[in-house]
Structure formats: structure tokens, C-alpha cells
Amino acid sequence: MNDIKTLVIMQLKDKLDLGFIKDKAQMIRKIIFFILRFLIVAAIAYALFFVSSFLRIFHNSPFIPTSIMTMILTIILVISTFACTTDLIKSLYMAEDNQVLVTYPISANRIFMSKIIVFYFYEIYKNFTFTLPIFVAYGLISPVNWFFYIWVFLSFFLVSMIPVVIGVVISLPGFFVGKFFSRYRILRIMFFIAVLSGFIYLLVCLILLIPSEINVLNYWGPIKVLLSDVTMFFQTYFKPVYYIILMVIGKYDVSMKYTYLNLDVWLVLICLIGILIALFMSAYFVARFLFIRMTSVSFEYEKRFKVKALLNRRLPAFASFILKELRLIFRSGQFTTNFITTYVSIPLFILLINQIFDSMDLYPNGQFAVQAFNILIIMLPLLASNSVVATMYSKEGRTAYMKRTKPVVIVFPLLAKLLPNIILSVASLIISLYIFNAYMHYVLINMVLLAFALIFIQVGHILFCALLDLMNPQNEQYATAGEQVNNPNETKATIFGFTVSFLIALITLGFLVEEQFMPNQSFNYAFLKILLIGFCFFGVALYMFIEKIKAYYYDRVS
């Protein structure tokens, strides 16, 4: 057992920061922080339950039905199972540490078990910090048995197993689907684009469903009916989750009190244990077989490249660097995450915000506040995501120094690295401003001025972030520790991004409010002044960028 324990602790360190175990003071701090976090989540959940009870949201009744917990647990379990499955596919069959782990004097079965136990512990940690406080809050507002406060903690050791076991089962077909897509890259890209487009289309449809007039007082009746129906839907169609709730909270009996003195509760417990064991055992024997095969003969699954003879085309120096960067981007999945969370989500978020504000009848000052808020919401994620730029040169690790050996102007490789981010962020910005103006109805020239102003600020900030990385490179850190680096440049870039976003939003608000008292109210001067600020910001950033390149690449070398 000790060998599994060692393996689990070793792998758990990658998922959770366990450095506090050795330090007593840090451990106490961690425990206090954990309890505080538990209490805060429980307090928020209790407040929400209390408000829904006070407002009689569910079935016009002050009593919170069990169906609400069925709904919450269903959503949590679905998300956890999805996360577990994708992580398990990577960790069980595709992890690079497998090749190292199999060299240890321990059987592959135990390595396999240790990996699953790591996921189980992580699931327990997640549940104890989020799901469990919600259940405790529900217990406080509902007529639960005193035994609930003991049982809920115990039962969650079992509930935490559900996403892990289902994940192990689904990881098998998931692995083969993943393998299929990695073999046919075109299909993978098409599938990704189709899913992303479908998702965006669905979101846009949902956002446009927001009524043109939001008046909660008028719509309160239908909203309450809808919420009650949604919870009932979960109770009716997600029966297995309802049975788990029954096992955790107890049976809501005819005297409207939760009790554990009911056969159903214990029957569910026994069935759940049985199903989990059966599922795990069946998955274990198949997945373990695949795991052992993958760790021992992994080269069989590695991509077989068809070597094609390509004519060596001579490209201009800058174009070659751009081509290299594009190839690197398409090989890495990280850029895709940043691309979706930032560049795709900003226009969608702007659409949502404006659809909500459009349904409000606002005074002119309120309209200006909304416009300034739009600028803030566009710039904040854009500039915050530029923190990635502050790590780009350092992430090249020790290969970064090869740039110095290339017989080209150093600005070429440095700028080529920034170009994909600049192009995509500018595209996202223009689409966001187009949506913004669909609601605000400014004349085209004003929008062009504003677009250029924001583009200058965005590009200026990207240059500033790159500058941070140039001045304080973390190449050695990335070369030795991989991605797990606490990069100070990232933090500085984020803080600076926040500051610039808030400042530009406030300045925009000030200029717009000031302009409304002007005789023609065309707002040209307001947007022109914003453009001037943006241009100055860009100019300063560009000047500093070029000067620092000279200092760090040319002066130092010579």
C-alpha cells in the first residue's frame, strides 16, 4: 500500500499545491482559509435559499423543494464528469509521465490505480469546497434530521466517486475518438469549427431571446412558474440524481421532514455502491489493459508522419517568421483556449450586455455610462489576456537565444510572435464595436475614430507586455519548470491592463458627458480626443519597445 500512497502524493502535488504540509504555520493558514471558503460558499448558498423561500419562488411556497437540490447536483455532476473524462484520457493514456512511472519498481496495475485515486482525491477536494457547503446550507433551511450533518460529509466520499468512475468508463471510447481525430486532423478542425459555430449560434439565439422590455415586476409570475418547472424537469428526468439526493438528505416523508428511517435511503446507498463497483471493475479490466499497452508500447500509437518532399521556397525574412509562428500556433492547443475565452467571448458578451441595457429605458447620463461600460468590457478582457504576451518570449526557453544568431533584424522574429494576437484581437475588437454601434447608433466616422483609438491602445498594451518580457526574461524558469511558472511579468501586465481599461472607460465617460452640452452634439471631438490619447499611448509603447530592443539585443551583445 505504501508504494501506491507515495505515487498518489507524488502525482497529487501536480494537481494541488501540497507544499503547506511540511510547514506548520502555512498548514494552519491553509486550514483556516479552507474553513473560511467553506463558510463563505455556505453563507452565499443559504442567502440564496432564504431569498427564494422569502419570495416563494418555487410553486408559490416558502418551502424549498428537494427538486432544487436535484437540479444543482445534476449540473455539478455533469460538469465534473466531463472534466474528469477529458483529464483522465490525458492522464491515463496520453500522459508523458507514464513512461517514467513504469520504470519504477511497481506494477503497472498500481500505477493505474494511483492515477484514479489522484482523481478521486481531487474530486473530494472540489466537492468539499463547493458542493458540500451548498448541501449544508440546504440542511440549515430545511427540516433535516440531525444525522444529516454527519452523514452529508460521509456520503460525499461516495458521491465524489461517481464522476471518476463514469470518467474511467467514458475515457475508453473517448480515447479512441480522440485518437481518430488526431489521425485525421482536417476532420478534427472541421468538428471543432462546427461545434464552436453551433455553440455561438445557440448563444446568440439565446441572447436575442431577452425581451425588449425587462420589467421583473410584470414578469414575476411567469418567471416563478418557469423556475418551478425547470426544477421539476430535473426531478422527473434525472431520477438517478434524485435518488442520490434521497440517499444524502434523506426521504422527505409524509410529515414533511427528511428522515433516514426509510428503506429507500439505504436501498439507494446499497445500489449506488453496487453500481459503482460493477462499473469500476468492468472499466478497470478494459482500461487497465489499454493503459498497460499504452505505457509499454506507446510508440505504436504515435503519429506516423508521411514525409512529403517539399520544394524549399525562399520567403522574405518577416514572412518566414510569421509562417513559423502560425505553425507553432496550430500545433498547440493553448492558443485555442485563449482564442475562445477572449476573442470569441468578447463580442458575445457585448451583445448580451447591450441586449440587457437595451431593454431598459435610461436617462442620457445612463446611456453614456452604458457606453463607457461597453468600452470597459471590451478592453478589460482584451488587455487582461495580453498577459499571455508577457510570457511569449520566455516560453521559448533556451531556444530563445537562437534569435540572436539569426542574420536578420531582431524586430522581425520579435514582432512576428505578436502578430497573431494583434490580428485576432483587432478583429474581435472591430466585431465588438460593430455590435456596440448596432445598439448605440453613432455615425460611422465616430465609430472609426473610436475603433482606431482602441486598436492603438490594444497594440500599445501588447508591445508593453512584450517589453516586460524582454526586460525581465524568465527563460530559465520555463526551461526547467515547464508551464508551472509564477511569472511576475504576467501579474504586472494584468494589473496594467486593468488600470488602462478603467482609465480609458472613465475618460470616455467624461468626454461623452462633456460633449452633450456642446451645441451640435456630434460627439466628433470626444472620439477625436480618445483617439489622440490612444495614439500617444501607442507611440510611447512603440518607442520604448524599439529602444529596449536596441538596449537588450544590440548594445548588450556588442
Residues that bind other proteins (CB under 8 A): 59-63, 65-67, 215, 217-222, 225, 232, 235, 242, 251-256, 338, 341-342, 349, 353, 356-357, 360-363, 365-367, 369-370, 373, 376-377, 380-381, 384-385, 387, 494
Q: Closer to other proteins at the Cβ: 301 or 439?
A: 439
Q: Quickly count: other Cβ atoms within 10 Å of residue 326's Cβ.
A: 13
Q: Dihedral, CA atoms, 92, 97, 100, 101, nearest 10 degrees?
A: -40
Q: Smallest distance, Å, CB 106 to other proteins?
A: 35
Separation of CA 20 from chain center: 26
Q: The C-alpha cell of 194 is what?
A: 462546427
Q: Closer to other proteins at the Cβ: 274 or 482?
A: 482
Task: For residues 246 and 241, give the distance between their C-alpha atoms in angstroms, rounded to a whole number.
Answer: 9
Burial class (CB in 10 A: 0-12, 13-18, 19+), 422: middle
Q: The C-alpha cell of 510 is what?
A: 467624461
Q: Smallest distance, Å, CB 255 to other proteins?
A: 5
Q: Smallest distance, Å, CB 146 to other proteins?
A: 19
Position 494, amino acid: T
Q: Smallest distance, Å, CB 240 to other proteins?
A: 15
258 forms beta bridges with 252
Q: Closer to other proteins at the Cβ: 254 or 310?
A: 254
Task: For residues 346 and 378, give the distance between their C-alpha atoms in angstroms, rounded to a whole number.
Answer: 6
Q: Closer to other proteins at the Cβ: 342 or 489?
A: 342
In terms of DSSP bridges, do strands 258-259 and 251-252 run parallel, antiparallel, or are they unpaired? antiparallel
Task: For residues 242 and 235, give the distance between their C-alpha atoms in angstroms, rounded to a whole number.
Answer: 6
Q: Smallest distance, Å, CB 512 to other proteins?
A: 14
Q: Smallest distance, Å, CB 367 to other proteins?
A: 8
Q: Smallest distance, Å, CB 318 to other proteins?
A: 29
Q: Closer to other proteins at the Cβ: 19 or 221?
A: 221
Position 98, amino acid: N
Q: Smallest distance, Å, CB 8 to other proteins?
A: 26
Q: Closer to other proteins at the Cβ: 232 or 290?
A: 232
Task: For residues 205 and 334, give the distance between their C-alpha atoms in angstroms, rounded to a whole number.
Answer: 28
Separation of CA 188 from chain center: 21
Collapsing DSSP to helix, strand or coil, 523 comes out as coil
Q: Closer to other proteins at the Cβ: 11 or 259?
A: 259
Q: The C-alpha cell of 73 is what?
A: 447536483
Nearest to 156 by CA among 177, 172, 134: 134
Q: Smallest distance, Å, CB 443 to other proteins?
A: 24
Q: Quickly count: other Cβ atoms within 10 Å of residue 236's Cβ.
A: 11
Q: How far apart are the first and last CA of the chain?
A: 60
Task: For residues 487 and 391, give the distance between their C-alpha atoms in angstroms, rounded to a whole number.
Answer: 7
251 forms beta bridges with 259
Q: Closer to other proteins at the Cβ: 130 or 373?
A: 373
Sign of CA dihedral 431, 332, 203, 349: negative
Q: Could you give the maximum distance between any two Cα atoms of the chain, in Å?
A: 87
Q: The C-alpha cell of 441 is what?
A: 447608433
Q: Smallest distance, Å, CB 60 to other proteins?
A: 6
Q: Where are the alpha helices (DSSP H) in 184-302?
A: 185-208, 216-237, 239-249, 263-296
Q: Smallest distance, Å, CB 224 to other proteins?
A: 8
